[in-house]
Amino acid sequence: MARRCQITGVGPSTGNNVSHAHNRTKRRFLPNLQKKKIWVQELNRFVTVKLSTKALRTLSKNGTAELAKMVRENKI
């Protein structure tokens, strides 16, 4: 599975490491992904998803209805 949030689609971004001498080399900024088992009331079962922490906070605030919709459409 790729380093991508299944809800928001957030993936790695790129930038530069900058040394004291101001030499620049490419680097990657990886998202803070967490693998979680979440109880979805609408489906009456647990769903395992790979989420960014921002998506996890949004999911706990707004509920799992959107997650259930995505599972029904086989996007997760």
Query: Could you tell me the residue ranges of all domains in the chain?
Result: 13-72
User: Which CATH code of 2.30.170.40, 3.40.50.150, 3.30.2130.10, 3.40.50.11890 fits the domain covering 13-72?
Assistant: 2.30.170.40
Instruction: Identify the band that residue 67 occupies on the pLDDT scale cut at 50, 70 and 90.
Output: confident
Strands 24-29 and 13-18, sheet pairing? antiparallel
Q: What is the pLDDT of residue 46?
A: 94
Beta-bridge partner residues of 27: 15
Helix (H) or strand (E) holding 65: helix 65-72
pLDDT tens digits, one per residue of 20-59: 999 999 999 999 999 999 998 888 999 999 999 999 999 9
Q: What is the pLDDT of residue 1?
A: 57
